[in-house]
Amino acid sequence: MKRTFSILICVFFAIALLTSCSSYSPSDVGSAGAPPTNILTSGSGPMPSAPQDSNSSEESVGPLPILTPSQAGGRKLSYTVTMHLQTTSFIPGMRLLLDAVSDTGGFLEEANLRGRDMRETETERSADFSFRVPSEQLTELLVLIENNYNLWSLRQTTIDSTEDYQRGDNRLDDLRKQEARLLEDMRELGITAEDRLALEQRLAQVQIAISDLLAQQSSIEYNLNYSTVIVYLHEVIFPEIIEEAPEEAPPTFGERFNETVLSSVLLFVSFCQWLAIVIVAAAPVLLILVLLAAIALLVYRIVTKSINKRKQDKAASSTGEQKED
C-alpha cells in the first residue's frame, strides 16, 4: 500500500513538471524585462547646438504655407511673420538668432533690447527684432527657430499683390505709349510755342506718373523677394526650489543644563571683563581720591593728637592744683 501511494505521488509530480515546462517558452526571456517595442521616442535626431529650449529636430513648419517666388507660379506673394519666442539662455539665444538671419542673407532693420538691472538679478530680459529675410530662405529660418526656441505664438500674414502688379504693368505700358506719342509730336515741325509748352507740361506729368509706377512695382518686387520677420524674444527664469529643513527635535535635559551652565559662565566672564575695564578706566580718578583720603586721614590724626595733648595738659594742671590745696 505504501509503495503504491509513493508511485502515485511520483507520477503526479512528473505530470505537473511536464505541464510547467510546456507552458514556458525561451522567447519569454527577452520580453520579460525589456520595454515594449512600440514606444515612441521623440528627439531621436542630433540635438541643436544652441539654447536649451529645442524641440524635436524632426518637427517642421508644416502648417505654414510658405511658397518661395519660384514656387508661387507667377503670383506676387509677400509674407510677414510675427513670433513670440521663449528661452532660458537669453544672450546665446539672441546671438544664435542674429547669426541665423545673417546666414540666410537677411539683415536687421530694427532692434530693441530690455536688459536686466544689476540690483535685481532675477529680472527677465526681452528683445524685439525686425528682420528682412530672403523669401527663398524663410522656411529654413523658421525651422531653425522652431528647433531652438520655445515657440510661444506665431502670426503669419500673406499679401497677394499679383493683380496690383499686373494693373501697374498695364498702366505703365499706356504711359510709355503716351510718352512716345508726346515725344513724336514735339519733333514735328511747325508747331507753335504754346503747343510745345503744353506738350512739355503733359510730357512731364506722364514721366512723373511713370516714375511713381516704377517705384510701386519695385516695392512689390522687393517685398516679394524679402519677407518681414518680427521676433519678440523673452527670457524665462524658473524659480529655484528650496528644500525645507527638517524639524529639529526638542533639546534634552542634559543639553538644556549644559547650555544654562555655559551661559552662566559666559555671563560671569563678561561681568569680570566689564569690571576690569571700569576699574582701569577709573584708575586716575580713584588714585586722586585715595591721595585725598590719605591727606584727610593724616590731617585728622594730627588734629586729634593735638586735641588729646591739650586735654592731657589741662587735666595734669588741674590735678596739681588740687594737690597744693
- Choose between 182 and 44: higher pLDDT: 182
Look up residue 28 and give its amino acid.
D
Instruction: Look up cell 593728637; give the residue.
Output: 305
- Choose between 205 and 22: higher pLDDT: 205
Tell me, what's the pLDDT at 29? 35
pLDDT tens, position by position, 125-174 = 999 999 999 988 999 999 999 999 999 999 999 888 888 888 888 888 98
Q: What is the pTM of this model?
A: 0.53
- Choose between 276 and 15: higher pLDDT: 276
- CB crowding 34-49: b at 16 or more within 10 Å, else e: eeeeeeeeeeeeeebe
pLDDT tens, position by position, 50-95 = 444 544 444 444 446 677 666 767 788 889 999 999 999 999 999 9
pLDDT classification of 38: cutoffs 50, 70, 90 = very low
Burial of 134 (0-12, 13-18, 19+ CB in 10 A): middle
